[in-house]
Amino acid sequence: MEILLILLVILVLARLAGALTERIGQTAILGELLAGVVLGVVVTAFPDILPQFVDIGENEVFKAICNLGIFFLMFMAGMEMRLEQLTGASKRGSVIALGGLLLPLALGCILGWLWLPGSGYRFEQAFFLGVALSVTSTAISIRILIDVGQLRTKLGNTIISAAVIDDIIGLSLLAVLVSILEIGSMPSGLELAIMLAKILGFFVFAIIVGRFMIPRIGTRLHRVKTAEVEFSVALAIALIFAVAAEVLGMHFIIGAFIAGLLIRERSFGDWAISDIQQRVSGISLGFLAPIFFASVGLQLDLSALSTALPFTVVLILVAIAGKLIGCGLPARLLKFSNRESLAIGVGMNGRGAVEIIIAAIALEAGLFAVPVPTPPLVTALFSSVVIMAIVTTFLTPLGLRLFLKPESKE
C-alpha cells in the first residue's frame, strides 16, 4: 500500500502543476519538475508528515516505475518522429547537428575539466557535462513548431532533423559514459574499440530488424484475432530493442527510442499506428512521465546550489552559447537568413526530457557521489544540470516564438 500512496500523491501534484504551467504557455514538464521540488522541500522540512517519501530514492519499486517511465517516454519520442519527412532536410540537418553537438560537447568538457575539483573521476564528470550540453529536446521543438505553423517548412524540418541526429549521437555518447562508469576507469584502446564495436553492432541489428523483420511482422498481424495484439507486439519490439541495447553495453533508452523510429505505418497500417501512439501517449504522459519528472525534482537539492551558484550560472550561459553558435553559424553558412539561423540555434537549445533522463541515469550510476568524501561542487552537479535543463527548456518556446513570426513562414 505504501507505493500506491506514493504514486497517488506524486501523480496528483505533478498533473496539477503541469496543468498550471501549460496555462501560462510553458511545457508541463516544468510544472512536474517543480511539483517534485516543492514536495522534496516539504518532506525535508517535515519528514513526519509524509514518512513514505523519506529516502524515496532507495525504494527499488519506485525506481523501477521511474525507469518504466523513461522507457515509455523514449519509445513515444521515437514514434513521434517521421524520418521520411526529414529526408529532404537530412544533409542540412546533419551539418547543423554536427556543429550543435561538437561545440557544446567541447565546451562542457572544458568547463568541467577547469572547474571541477581534481580526482580520479574528473574526466568522467567533465565528459558527462559535455554530453549534457550536446543534447536537444526534439519533443519541445516539435511542439513549438506546430504552435507557430512551421513544422512542415524547410526550417522546421531542418530543426527536427538536426535534433533527431543530436539525440541519437548524444544517447550513443551516454552509452560510452555508462560503460566507462561500469569499468571504473578510462577504458584502454582495446576496451574502447570493443565498446564502439558493440554500439555499431546495435545499429546494424536495428537496421536489419527494422528493414526485414518488423515489416513482415506488422503486415501479418491482421491474421491474429487476439485483442490489442498490435499494441502488445509494438511493446514487445520496443522491449527487444531495449534488451539488445543493454546486452551490447548501451542504455535501454536508446533501444526504446530506435524501436519507436522503426514502428511505422507501412508495416502496421495507419489505424494501428495511430492507436498504438494514443495508448503509449496515455500511459506515458498520463501516468509514468509525470511521476518520473516529479521524482527528478524530488532529488533536486536546492541547498547544494549555495556552493555552486557561480558554476550553475556559467553552465547555463555556456549551454545557451554552445547551441546558438554551434547551430546558428552552420545554418547561416547554409544560406539561412539571420532570423532563421537564430531560430535554429534557439530551437536546438531546449534540453527538456532527454537532458533530465541523462542526468537521472548518471545519478543512478553514482557519478555525483565520487570520490569519497565527495566535494560540494560534485554533489551539486546533478542539481546544476537539471536547473540548466529547466532554464533552457523555459527559454526555447519564448525564443522560437520571437524568431518564428508568421511573416517568416516559407
**What is the residue-wise DSSP string for 75-98?**
HHHHHH--HHHHGGGHHHHHHHHH
Mean pLDDT of 126-149: 80
Other residues' Cβ atoms within 10 Å of the Cβ of residue 376: 13
Which pLDDT band holds residue 303 (cuts at 50, 70, 90)?
Answer: confident
Helix (H, G, I), strand (E, B) or coil at 249: coil
Name the average pLDDT for the chain.
86
Residue 110 has pLDDT above 70, yes or no: yes
Contact 382, 116 (CB under 8 A): no
The whole-model pTM stands at 0.82
Higher-confidence residue of 278 and 178: namely 278
pLDDT tens track for 366-385: 899 888 899 999 999 999 99
Q: What percent of the chain has pLDDT over 70?
A: 92
Residue 165 has pLDDT above 70, yes or no: yes
What's the pLDDT at 269? 85
What's the pLDDT at 102? 95
**Where do we find the cell 513482415?**
216
CB burial of residue 370 (10 Å; 0-12, 13-18, 19+): middle
Mean pLDDT of 351-377: 87
How far apart CA 280 and CA 337 sit, in angstroms, is 38
What's the pLDDT at 129? 95
What's the pLDDT at 70? 87
Residue 173 has pLDDT above 80, yes or no: yes
Contact 250, 198 (CB under 8 A): yes
Q: What percent of the chain has pLDDT over 90?
A: 41
What's the pLDDT at 327? 95
How far apart CA 291 and CA 12 sit, in angstroms, is 9
Higher-confidence residue of 301 and 332: namely 332
What's the pLDDT at 409? 40
The answer to which of 201-210, 217-226, 326-335 has the lowest mean pLDDT is: 217-226
Which pLDDT band holds residue 84 (cuts at 50, 70, 90)?
Answer: low
Residue 407 has pLDDT above 60, yes or no: no
What's the pLDDT at 151? 67
Residue 330 has pLDDT above 90, yes or no: yes
What's the pLDDT at 88? 54
What's the pLDDT at 126? 94
Instruction: Give how far Cα 317 sits from Cα of 122, 124, 310, 314, 385, Å.
Output: 21, 22, 11, 5, 12
Residue 209 has pLDDT above 90, yes or no: yes
User: Number of structural domains, the chain?
Assistant: 1
Domain span holding position 269: 2-408
What's the pLDDT at 375? 92
What's the pLDDT at 398? 79
Mean pLDDT of 186-192: 75
Mean pLDDT of 194-199: 84
What's the pLDDT at 184? 66
Contact 69, 288 (CB under 8 A): yes
Q: Given phi > 0 = left and psi -120 to 50 = alpha, else beta, which region is 228?
A: left
What's the pLDDT at 323? 95
The x, y and z cell numbers of residue 319, run together, are 549551454
What's the pLDDT at 219? 82
What's the pLDDT at 87? 56
Mean pLDDT of 235-259: 89
Residue 150 has pLDDT above 70, yes or no: yes
Mean pLDDT of 45-53: 89
Looking up residue 315, the CATH number of its domain turns out to be 1.20.1530.20
